[in-house]
Every structure is written in structure tokens, then in C-alpha cells.
Structure 1
Amino acid sequence: MKKSRILFASLAGSVIEWYDFYLYGTATGLVFSTLYFPSHDPAISLLLAFLTFGAGYAARPIGSIVFGHMGDRMGRKASLIFTLIGMGGSSMLIGVLPTYAQVGLLAPVLLVALRLIQGIALGGEWGGAILLATEYAPKGLRGLYGSIPQMGVPIGLVTGSFSLTLISYLTTDSQFMAWGWRIPFLLSGVLIALAIWVRSGIEETPAFKKEKESGNIAAVPIVETFRKDWKNVLRAIGLKVGDGFFNVFSMSYLLVFATVYLGYSRDTALTALTIGCATMLVSIPVFGYLSDYIGRKLIYIGGLVLMFLLVVPYFSIIDEGAGWLYLMQAIMLGVLWGAIFATQGTLFSELFPANVRYTGLSVGYQVAAALAGFGPIMWGAMAESFGPSPWVFGGFMMAGLTLSIVLSVFMPGSEQRVVILNQRKEKGAIIQK
């Protein structure tokens, strides 16, 4: 199996899954708050709409358990096909969903249900894409391979936001609200079909094949994970929480924060987001490659520490003008978070043995993501009470980053993890004798 096809399969599916997930996030403020959550108070409509956005994050741990079980029992490939079907089907249905004016309360109920399906699908996609890349990686290039599917996040976000922006530009306001916004959701059906075709042609990963041939398949992966690796699940949650809140802010809530509280136009805010994502497309593979030579742990800690030091200046400077907003998005999102995210998938996967790796990796990451997903609700309340205060918002981010920094310092490196796993196997062999 050609490595290039494996990487393309992991990246293509990841791009499309994140396209759908972030397309919903962009449509939340533009469309859903008006068409599905009408209220005499626009702030209440926006809050309700962002609750459904957070619901997608809340559902992701469910997906990590369901698809983690499938991935550790049936194989990575089978699980990744089903995540695409779940995401594509729910996105297409959103594209034909009647509005509140047409069917009343049934409209927001159905919208929330479809958003939950999106979250469940994405909860299984991320870990599987990482394993598809890393478990096929040649020796000494696991960090680089693990960084490739991570590029799906910035690509998916930009394409999702751009698709709505393009449709908005090509239609009048009334046309956009009537039917234009539905086009990008319906288009996802075509993209998902393409990704399924690509993934259906790949073979199962060598690591899973080895576990299956040896009979070392966990009966109930989630039980096995928490029986032997519960500390690493908690470690992964804590390691992700710190950058997770900043990630959600700078890639989702920024559009509201910059336009509502800082007075920027939507075009300016969207340009800043695009600049950050474009920078990530360069930084992610670079840091992934470097992690194979100077160590993933070192890059991860460095990214967290620098983000901690710059997060208050970030909130202070982005109010000074569009140029500063662009620069800080490039530095904080594109470089620092790019460094953290580039190493995250590979780093977390190295915490778990192959027979429960899909489950352990996914549950740890997605529980943290679920916590971070409700950030917009808290930030909305903070902004209403304190305004765009650098110390309030910066202090919030610093609290989470402190936890991640402490845990990362005491995190075992990949070499130490190998020793631990070997000791566990030796201990098991002695018990069997």
C-alpha cells in the first residue's frame, strides 16, 4: 500500500469532516440564530444557537467510545467509513431542514439532533485518522505522518467558512437566508462520497493486523482502557484542555468577539481567521517533522509555555487595529497552536497500546474537546459583564494552560512509554506462566 495514498485518505476524510463541523459553526451566527431560534432579543437567539454548537462538542465523547470500540475491535478502516457516513448524512439533512417559521419547535429540535450526530461522527473520526497515518508511518517519521491529518482542521474550517461567504457574495440577503445557505451543506454529500471511495480502497493498518493475528483484541476496549490506562486518559484530557479553549476561541468564537465586541467587520474577522489557518498549513508539517528529531514533548511544552506568556498580550493587541489582529492570529493560532496541534495526535497515540489505542486516544481528546466546546457560552457571559477585557479572557485561558503545562512536564516521553509497555508485556507473560 502506497504511503501517499494512506496520507491522502487520512487527510481527505479529515478535511471533509471538519468542513462539515465548522460549516455549522459559521452558520450558527449567520443563519441558525435567526431561522431556527427566533427571539425578540438577538442576544438570546445567538446564545441558543451557540448552545447547539456546543452540543456537537458534547456529543464527541460518545462518538469516541462508539467508534473507538469499532476501531479497536473491527479495524480502523471500518470505523472511519462509518464516521464519514454519519457526518455526511447529517450535514445533507441540515441542508433540507425546514425552518422555525415552517414547522415551529420541530425545526430546532431536529437541528439539535443532527448536530449531535455530527459530534458523534467527529468523535470517532479524529482518532481514526491519526492512527491511519501513524500506524502506517515509516520508522522515524511518525511525527510527520501524524501531523498530516491535523491539517484537515484549518483546511476544513477555511473551506467551510469560505463556502458560506462565497454564496453570500453571489446572492442577495433574502436569497441567502431563503436557500443560499443550504448549498454548502448539500455539497458535503458529494465530498463525503468521494472520501468514502478513497478510504474504501485502503488496507487495514499493520498495527491492527498484528494485534488481530496475535488474538490480542480487547473484548470491551473502553473497559480495558480504564482498567489499565485510566491515568493516561486523564492525562490526555488535561493536556488538551489548555490549548482546547484557545483553539475554540480563535477558530470559532473569534468571529463573534471581533465583530460584536471589538467593532471589526465580518470580512476583517474572517480574513484574520484565514491568515491563522494558512499559517498553520505551513507550521503543522514543519513541527511534525521536527518532532521526529528533537522530540514531541519538547515542542509541545514549548508551544504551551509561549501561549501562556502571550495570551494576555494577544487579547490586548487585537483591539489595536486590523493589522495587529492579523499578526496575532498568525502567531498564536498559526505558529503556537500549530506546534501544539501538530504533535498532539502522535503524542497522545503513544500513550496507549495498540489494542485500545483508538479508544484511549479518542476518549481523552474528545472529553477535553467537549469541555472546550462550551467556551462560547461562558465567553458570551464574560463579555456581557466585563467587556473584551484582556485580563478576564486572558486569565481564563491561562488557567487551562497552567494545567496542561504541569501535566506535560511530567508526561512520559515516547521512549519511556515503550519501556512501560514492555514491562507490562513481561509481567503478563510471567503471570501466564
Structure 2
Amino acid sequence: MKKSRVLFASLSGSVIEWYDFYLYGTATGLVFSTLFFPAHDPAVSLLLAFVTFGAGYAARPIGSIIFGHMGDKIGRKASLIFTLIGMGGCSMLIGFLPTYAQVGLIAPILLVILRLIQGIALGGEWGGAILLATEYAPKGVRGLYGSIPQLGVPIGLVAGSFSLTMISALTTDSQFLSWGWRIPFIASGVLIALAVWVRSGIEETPEFKQQKETGNLAKVPIIETFRKDWINVLRAIGLKIGDGFVNVFTMSFVLVFSTVYLGYTRDTALTSLTIGCATMLLTIPIVGYLSDFIGRKKIYMGGLVLLFLLAIPYFIMIEKGAGWLYFMQAVVLGVVWGAVFSTQGTLFSELFPAKVRYTGLSVGYQVAAAIVGFGPMLWTSMAESFGPSPWIFGGFMMTGILLSIALCIFVPDTSIAENSKYEDKILSL
């Protein structure tokens, strides 16, 4: 099996999954708060809309258990096919949903249900995409391979945001709210079909094949994970909390924060997000490659420390004008967070043995994602009470990052170029 085809399958599915997930996030503040959660107070509408946004994150641990079990028992490939179908099908259905004005409370209820299914699907996608890449990687470049599916996050986000922005530019405000916003959601059905076709043509990963041939499969992966690797699950959760809040803010809530509370236009907010994501496209593969030589822990720790130091300056500077908003998004999101995220999938996967790797990797990451996914709800309340205070928002970020820094100290460095224990661990299974 050609490695390039495997990487393409990992990346393409990841792009489309995150396109669907972040398309919803972009539409939350622009569409759903008005069409599905109408209220006399706009702040209440926005808060209710972000509850559904958080619900998608809350459902991700469920998906990590379901698809982690499937991935560790049946295979990585089968699990990844189902996650694509779940995510894409729900996105397409969202595009056909009636609004609150048409059917009343049924509209937001259906929206929440579909969002929950989206979250479940994404809960299994991320870990599977990482393993598809890393378990095919030649020795010495696992960091590079593990960084490739991470590119799906910025590409998917930009694609989702761009699709709504393009439709908005081509329609009037009334047309956009009436039917224009539906087009990107419905179009995801075609994209998912293409991704399923690509993934169906690849073989199972060599490491899972070895596990299956030797009969060394976990009977109940989630039970075995918590019985033997619960410390690493907790490590993964804690390591993700700090950068997770930064991620959700700079890649989602920044659109609301910069327009509602700082007075920027929607185009300015979307441009800042695009600049940050475009910078990540360079940062992620470069840092992923370097992690095989420098060490993943060093890069991860360095990134967390920089996020801690930049937390308050970020909020101070983005108030000073569009140029500073663009610059800080490029630095904080594109370079620093991009470096942390580049190493994250590989670092987390190397904490677990192959027989429970899908489950352990996914559960740790997605439990943390469920926690940080409710950040927009907290930040909406904070902004209403304190305004866009750099000290309140920056202090909030610093608290979470400090937890991750403390835990990172005790995480072993899993750089394959420097440390062959991971390889030895696989061979001994």
C-alpha cells in the first residue's frame, strides 16, 4: 500500500469531518442564534445557540468509546468509514431543517439531536485518522506522518468558513438567512461520498493486522484501557485542557468576540481566522517533522509556555486594530498553537499500546474536548458581565494552560528518532 495514498485518505476524511464540524460552529453565531433560537435578548439567543455548539463537544467522549471499541476490535478502517457517514449525513440533514418560525420548538430539538450525532462521529474520527497515518509511518518519521491529519483542522475550518462567506457575498441578507446558508451543509453529502470512496480503497494498518493475526485484541477495550492505562488517559485529558480552550476561542469564539464585543466587521473577523489557519498549514508539517528529531515533549512544553506568556498580551493587542488582530491570530493560533497541535496526535498515541491505542487516544482527547467545548458559553457570560477584559479572559486561559504545563513535566518524551522504546513495545505485543 502506497504511503501517499494512506496519508491522503487520512487527510481527506479529516478535512471533511472538520469542515462539517466547524461549518456548524461558524453558522452558530451567524445563523442558528437567529433562525433556531429567537429571543428578545440577542445575548440569550447567542447563549442558547452556543449550548448546541457545546453539545457537539459533550457527545465526543461517547463517540470515542463507541468507535474506539470498533477500531480496536474490528479495525481502524471500518471505524473511519462509519465516522464519515455519521458526520456527513447529519450535516446534510441540517441543511434541510425547518426553522423555529416554521415548526417552533421542534426545530432546535432536531438541530441539537443532529449536533449530538455529529459530536459522536467526530469523537471517533480524530483518533482513527491519527492512527491511520502513524501506524503506517516508517520508523523515524512518525511525527511527520502524525501531523498530516492535523492539517484537516485548519483546512476544514477555512473551507467551512469560506463556503458561508462566499454564499453570503453572493446573496442578500434575506436570501442568505432564507436559503443561502443551507447550501454548504447540503454540499457536504457529495464530499462525504468521495471521502468514503477514498478510504474504502485502503488496507488495514500493519500494526492492527499484526494484533489481529496473533489474537492479541482487547476483549473490552475501554475496560482494559482504564484498568492498565488510566494514568495515561488522565495525562491526555490534562495535556489537552490548556491548549483546548485556546483552540476553541481562536478558531471559533473569536468570530463572536471580535464582532460583538470589539466592534470589528464580520469580514475582518473571518479574515483573521483565515490568516491563523493559513499559517498553521506551514507550521504543522514543519514542526511535525522536527518533532522526530527534537522530541515531541520539548516542542509541546515550549508551546504551552508560550501560550501561557501570550495569553494576556493576545487579548490586549487584538483590541488595538485589525492589523493587530491579524498578527496575533497568526502568532498565537497559527504558529504557537499550531506547533502544539502538530505534535499532539503522535504524542498521545505513543502513550498507549496498540491493542487499546484507538480507545485510549480517543477517550483522553475527547473528554478534554467535551470540557473545553463549553468555553463559548462561559465566555459569553463573562463578556456580558465584565466586557472584553484582557485580564479576565487572559487569566482564564492561563489557568487551564498552567494545568497542562504541570502535567507535561511528567510525560515521557516519545520522539522516535531519540527513543526506540515505542518500537520495542509494539514488537513485544
Q: Same fold (TM over 0.5)?
A: yes
SS of alignment partner, residue 32 of structure 1: helix
Partner of 1:322: 322
Contact 1:315–1:394 (CA under 8 A) maintained in structure 2: yes
Measured in 2, the distance between the counterparts of 1:108 and 1:399 equals: 34
Query: Is 1:208 equivalent to 2:205 in the alignment?
Result: no
The one-letter amino acid paired with 1:54 is G
Q: Aligned pair 1:199/2:199, yes or no?
A: yes
Residue 381 of structure 1 corresponds to which residue in structure 2?
A: 381
Amino acid at match of 1:346: T
Q: What's 2:404 paired with?
A: 404
- Aligned pairs for 1:7-406 (under 5 A) are 7-406=7-406
Structure 1: distance between partners of 2:107 and 2:406:
45
| Structure 1 length-normalised TM | 0.97
8 Å Cα contact 2:9-2:198 kept in structure 1: yes
Q: Distance in 1 between matches of 2:173 and 2:186?
A: 19
Shift of residue 238, structure 1, vs aligned partner: 0.1
Post-superposition shift, 1:246? 0.4
CA shift in 2, pair 1:17/1:423, >3 Å: closer
Q: CA deviation at 1:103?
A: 1.1
What do residues 332-365 of structure 1 show as CA deviations (whole Å, max 9, x unaligned)? 0000001000000000000000000000000000
Classify the secondary structure of the residue corresponding to 2:320: coil
1:40 deviation in Å? 1.1
Question: How far is 1:15 from its partner?
Answer: 0.2
- Alpha-carbon distance in 1 for matches of 2:79, 2:195: 13
The AA in structure 2 aligned to 1:283 is T
RMSD value over aligned CA atoms? 1.5
Residues 20 and 160 in structure 2, CA contact (< 8 A), matched pair in contact too:
yes
* 8 Å contact from structure 1 (residues 11, 152) kept in 2: yes
Identify the range of structure 1 (257-266 vs 339-348) with the bigger mean alpha-carbon deviation.
257-266
- Provide structure 2 residue ranges, at least 5 long, that are not aligned to the other structure: none
Unaligned runs of 5+ in 1: 429-433
How many residues are aligned here? 427
How far apart, CA to CA, are the structure 1 residues paired with 2:414 and 2:426? 15
**Bigger mean CA offset, 404-413 vs 8-17:** 404-413
CA, structure 1 residues 36+130, in 2 after alignment: closer, same or farther (shift >3 Å)? same
**Preserved CA contact (<8 Å) 1:128 1:358:** yes
DSSP-derived class of the 1:414 partner? coil
Deviation of 1:199 after TM superposition, in Å, equals: 0.1
TM-score, with structure 2 as normaliser: 0.97
- Runs of 4+ in structure 1 off by over 3 angstroms are 415-426
Conserved? CA contact 2:353–2:425, under 8 Å: no
Partner letter of residue 83 of structure 1? T
> Contact (CA 8 Å) 1:350, 1:417: kept in 2 or not?
no
SS at match of 1:310: helix
Alignment partners' CA distance in 2, 1:390 and 1:34: 28
For 1:132 and 1:123, the matched residues in 2 are separated by 15
The Cα offsets for residues 291-317 of structure 1, whole Å up to 9 and x where unpaired, read as: 011111110001000111111101111
- Give the aligned partner of residue 431 of structure 1: none
Distance 1:242 1:379 in 2: 15
Once the 2 structures are TM-superposed, how far is the Cα of residue 74 of structure 1 from its aligned partner? 0.3
One-letter amino acid matched to 2:141: L
CA shift in 2, pair 1:418/1:38, >3 Å: same
Check 1:291–1:425 CA distance in 2 against 1; reply closer, same or farther (3 A cut). Answer: closer
Contact 1:57 1:373 (8 Å CA) reproduced = yes
AA partner of residue 44 (structure 2): I
Give the Å deviation of 1:418: 6.3
Could you tell me how far apart the structure 2 residues matched to 1:423 and 1:358 are?
16
In 2, the alpha carbon distance for the partners of 1:176 and 1:424 equals 53
> 1:387-411 deviations in whole A, cap 9, x for unaligned?
1111111110000101111111110
2:215 is paired with a residue whose SS is coil
SS in structure 1 at match of 2:217: coil
User: Structure 1 residues 134, 422: CA separation in 2 closer, same or farther (over 3 Å shift)?
Assistant: closer
Q: Aligned to 2:363, what secondary structure does the other structure show?
A: helix
Structure 2 letter corresponding to 1:296: R
